[in-house]
A and B are shown apart, each in its own frame.
Chain A
Amino acid sequence: MSDFARTLALSASGMQAQAARLRHVSENIANADTPGYHRKLVSFGEVVEGGRATGEVETGPVTLDRTELTRIYDPSHPLADATGHYDGSNVDLVVEIADAREAQRSYEANLRMFDQARQMHSALIELIRR
């Protein structure tokens, strides 16, 4: 496989990983008001094939954020305890939006690389076309 084809594969894996990250961010945001919800964290890792790193990236297993759940005061809530509090989620919307934006930027970077590899190959072939 030529270097350009490799670049296409690597960029595609990067875009796929960022899309998976965005999916988990949207899960977190969707569950921001779910009582007892721990936000999900995505880890990235290099793809290893036959003991050698291929350079591609993949998302690893999802882990849960272990920070304390927020205590919300609402005596009318069905889950409220004797003090009138219940456990909310530990999702911070500001953090999630920042994470989503980061995923977008990273995705764009991979997209640019993809396009650039294509353009470079086309320009090379254009040389002998005349």
Chain B
Amino acid sequence: MDFRSSHVAQLYQAARPATQPGARDQAQGAGEAFARVARDFADTVRQGEEAAKSTMTGDADPYALVQALAATELAVETAVTVRDKVVEAYQEILRMPV
């Protein structure tokens, strides 16, 4: 495979827009998806809390409690892991010698 410099320059030019802050709608779509995930997470945690509360007051079955708490545990685990990964990636970028 041969790499001609003109071809590479062309490709580079074509890829330039990706680094521009103008790619608005993409960022917006990602932001929306992230907001949805965050909302799902908050809902799961809230359900777990509700189940725990109603069990304490004595009007919920233990199965609902265990299920809600297990779901909360999984959700929190996922969120914490993803957060750690994102923070790690950010720090990795910060450490990059410029």
User: Which residues on B sit within 8 Å (CB–CB) of A16?
Assistant: 61, 63
Stretch at the interface among B8-16, B19-27, B78-86: B78-86
Task: Check B67–A8 contact: CB distance below 8 A.
Answer: yes
| Interface contact A129-B66, CB-CB below 8 Å | no
Q: Which secondary structure dominates where chain B touches chain A?
A: helix
User: Does B33 count as interface, using CB distance less than 8 angstroms?
Assistant: no
Q: How many pairs, one residue from A and one from B, have CB atoms within 8 Å of each other in the complex? A: 36
Instruction: Give Cα A16 to B65, complex, Å.
Output: 12
- The listed residue with most B CB atoms (<10 A of its CB), out of A4, A12, A15, A19, is A12
Which residues of A in the span 42-92 have a Cβ within 8 Å of any Cβ on B?
none
- How would you classify the secondary structure of chain A's contact residues: helix, strand, loop or mixed? helix
Q: Is B87 an interface residue (CB 8 A)?
A: no
Name which residue of chain A comes closest to B82, CB basis.
Answer: A128
Contacts of A19 in B (CB 8 A): 63
Tier of interface size on chain A = 10 to 19
| A12 B81 Cβ-Cβ under 8 A | no
- B64 proximity list for chain A (CB < 8 A): 12
* Chain A, 1-20, CB within 8 A of any chain B CB: 4-5, 8-9, 12-13, 15-16, 19
A128 vs B79: C-alpha distance in the bound complex, in angstroms? 12
CA distance A104 to B28 in the complex (A): 52
Cβ distance A58 to chain B, nearest Cβ, rounded Å? 12
Residues of A that sit less than 8 Å from B by CB: 4-5, 8-9, 12-13, 15-16, 19, 114, 118, 121-122, 125, 128-129
